Amino acid sequence: MNTALLKENLRAVPDFPIPGILFWDITTLLKNPACLKEMDAALLEQYKGLGITKVVGIESRGFFLAPSLAMHLGAGFVPIRKPGKLPAETVSESYQKEYGVDTLQIHKDAITPEDVVLVHDDVLATGGSARAAIELVKKFGPRKVYVNFIIELEALGGRAKLPEDVPMTALLSL
């Protein structure tokens, strides 16, 4: 994978969404066809052959690459969303994030015990939303859970908050 290409095209936005937060914007990667191809190929290479049956994207930036990856893996796509966005019965998990408390939800019938699940999001920062998403998925008792990010912000220590039994990868470490 050409990490130099990805890092050159990544945009950092200071003080977004609130003062003191440095936001890593992946839209600059998504609009560049070469970057999009690199990310898509790298994700497929990491997860092909693992028997993934569902790729779960975390709202909202996890929705960008997760459906494509699911398609390439021959898996289904499952969205994890904020409250009130999913139309059928849901299961919820609340978590602490860098600047407040939030809740995530998944449809009650989204995952089965036979599934092998990959949870995907854009950035691993403090680990709150990722841990909540993994806990939601684990409530269904799937055979295996993996988690992936485009970017891991190592200094924020999010990896330490993730369950040890869930293998984690990131395309870029900053």
Show which residues are catalytic.
61, 98
- CA–centroid distance for 174 within its chain: 16
Structure token pair of residue 54:
């569902």
Distance CA 125, CA 127 (A): 6
Q: Are strands 11-14 and 22-25 parallel, antiparallel or unpaired?
A: antiparallel
Distance CA 62, CA 123 (A): 9
Cβ neighbours of residue 96 closer than 8 Å, sequence gap 6 or more: 126, 128
Closest CA to 108 of 77, 142, 75, 137: 137
